[in-house]
Chain A
Amino acid sequence: MQLLRRCGSAKGVTLDQLPLGASARIAAVDWTLLVPEEAQRLRALGIDEGARVKLAYRGVFFGRDPLAVEIGRMTVALRRAHARAMTVEQQEA
């Protein structure tokens, strides 16, 4: 599981690789990795290219899945599989 994540590093850091509490801007989203309905839901929640997010919480059990991301004044839970499709630029909080 951990080894598979290396593929993310070639195209930059993905959202799931951010340290807890870090803020970032979503630079690119590989929509092909997401089911269309889920992509739509993420976009409806404002999680899209250009959005500023903060990785606020991680789940407990194996793999620390799911993630909770702060976007604006809202907190959204999503799976690591979704976060892996999002390349981010880390920013100072």
Chain B
Amino acid sequence: MSRSPCTAALVGNPNAGKSALFNALTGARQKIANYPGVTVERKAGRMLLPNGEPVELVDLPGSYGLHATTSPDEEVTRRVVMGEQDGQNRPDVLVIVLDSSNLEQHLVFAQEVLELGRPTVVALNMVDLAERDGLVLDAAALSTALGVPVIPTVAVRRRGLPELAAAVSAARDAVIEHPIARPHVTLPERRMLAHEMAHTAILSETAKHRIHARMDELLLHPWLGPPILFALLFVVFQAVFSWATPFADAIDAAFTGLGDWVRAEVPASLARDLLTDGVISGVGSVVVFLPQILILFFFILTMEATGYMARAAFLMDRLMAGVGLSGRSFIPLLSSFACAVPGIMSTRSITDPKDRLTTILIAPLMTCSARLPVYAVIIAAFIPNRQVLPGIGLQGLVLFALYVAGVVGAMVVALILRRSVTKGAASGFIMELPKYQLPTVKDLALGLFQRAWIFLRRAGTMIFTVTVALWVLLNFPRAEAGQDQVNASIAGHIANGLAVVVEPIGFNRDISLALIPAMAAREVAVSSLATTYAVGNADEAQQGVALGDQLKARWSLATALAFLAWFVFAPQCMSTIAVTRRETNGWKWPGFMLAYLFGLAYVFAGLTYWTAVALGLG
């Protein structure tokens, strides 16, 4: 047996606490990628054995069985365990993760894995929650029954981790005496054995999970559940807008200060302008939204970690069924509020292909965090900051309305798609509702850090490149004396052409100019406007004027509202198109998505503009 490199894999049912255990064992040293050829996420990290030797630990997707796989995720788990997956060595040691308070269920899958006769260790995870539920477990008895070491663990409290690492080390070194010792049994037999083993392992059992039942009685209550869900979502959007302000102001001040400092220290030149007007104002105007994005992700990650997300799916299932989808689509769609890319990727948990395609196609209608910068700037500039009701600001209300517009649009589109291009049998909804859990600060922090890093990397690479490219397009060829630089530039000419198309819906030339680079990423629209107005200002005194005030002076309210309506629908994000192509294996569906979204955006921006003008807001 080769001693290195050694690979261990975590396997288990969904909701066994695998990810928390994986985080605890590997810390922040994680690599997240896709398995080649399939769209299933591969999470790997480095775990240290007691002797200091590193082991590659792979966190496999949750699965209910190895032989009857019903989703791409379960298929990958099966292939990795069997050593058939491309890009992954057959794991040397399998670590079966069991939820201590759900032994009878989880032991069914565990037996299937044990039948393979491979070096295996069992992590009896979340023993603290089982104890809270009144269960006293005998790990030794379970170990005897299963014939492999059983280590009680509490991933979030780091309990049992050294013991688990030692057991992995021992399992790897042990010589397997009878590799094909276990007979293959049928599912009912396995279930009976699981029942017996659970019975042996449970020393005492008092009243069942009162806390979960109490929580569900409230949160799944027919009349209280939905209002609680909507109130929660409303709080999230208010928080995104108001909590972030001081942090955003601080970041803004820092970038403005940096720009001023460069302007004062460096002699005037085209290169200095590139640095201040292009790089600093462009990147700064995007980074300023980091606090809002973190707050949004904080809520989404918390809802996932606590187990509330599945309840939200339960509550929403009937409404989703009304448009031909299921509660399962609710989670990818809710994630799409953060970003459509992970949202579209998480549609892989939807088993029905038509259902999944529909969800992918409507995911971009969920207002993603990249649209927040655009909304935030326009709302702050054009919507008065006053209270409608105590605690409810008009600005937050408009933001909420924009989100609702996206959701309603998505529902209508889904209804139409399910009756036309994605016609098929109605899909079902079968889903485990996991136990409620307090999220751990560490797991939340790690998740937030990964999101912040992705966002900043985008700001640092793509957004940086795009703003610089735009600055070049705006500054060349140089205007002759007395001529406006923006008009003379290459970008000005492109925008003039585009403006003919978007003029009927109230868009001016500056907006046409911003729409071009916004194809790369929506939030670039803001930095583009910032760059355009910074370049367009021959007047030095105007340089420091905030983007919001600039917009207010140049746009009518009708134009601003039409711009907002455009962004509710417009598919302006290369990453979304790319991920859709990957997930649907071709250009057909991303092409369809582009066409229908642009159509909707044009029509709704137009309707908004014409209505606003008719009401005298033009």
Q: Interface residues, chain A, CB within 8 Å of chain B? A: 35, 37-38, 40-46, 48, 50, 56-66, 68, 71-79, 81-82
Contacts and interface: CB of A to CB of B under 8 A. Distances in A.
A23 to B, nearest CB: 12
A65 B432 CA distance: 16
B353 to A, nearest CB: 11
B428 interface: yes
Contacts of A38: 428, 430
Nearest to A81: B428
A77 B68 contact: no
Contact of B70 (A40, A46, A48): A40
The listed residue with most A CB atoms (<10 A of its CB), out of B105, B209, B225, B226, is B105
Given A60-B226, A77-B317, 16 more contacts: A35-B425, A38-B430, A44-B65, A44-B70, A45-B432, A46-B108, A57-B216, A57-B220, A59-B318, A68-B314, A72-B105, A73-B208, A74-B432, A78-B428, A81-B428, A82-B428
A75 B432 contact: yes
Interface string B192-231: 0000000000000000110011001000101101100000
Q: What 9 A-B pairs are tightest by C-beta distance, nearest first?
A: A44-B64, A61-B318, A75-B433, A57-B220, A60-B222, A77-B431, A66-B317, A38-B428, A77-B314
Provide the main secondary structure of the chain A interface.
mixed
Interface string B22-54: 000000000000000000000000000000000
Interface string B167-194: 0000000000000000000011001000
A65 B317 contact: yes
A75 B216 contact: yes
A76 B191 contact: no
A10 B65 CA distance: 35
Interface string B303-330: 0000000100111011101100001000
Given A46-B191, A62-B318, A74 B102 contact: yes
Contacts of B101: 73
Interface of B: 64-65, 68, 70, 101-102, 104-105, 108, 133, 187-188, 191, 208-209, 212-213, 216, 220, 222-223, 225-226, 310, 313-315, 317-319, 321-322, 327, 351, 425, 428-433
B317 A41 contact: no
Provide the main secondary structure of the chain B interface.
helix
Given A38-B430, A45-B430, A66-B318, A56 B222 contact: no
Given A60-B315, A65-B321, A74 B105 contact: yes
A76 B220 contact: no
A50 B327 CA distance: 28
A78 B104 CA distance: 20
Contacts of A40: 68, 70
A48 B188 CA distance: 9
Nearest to B318: A61
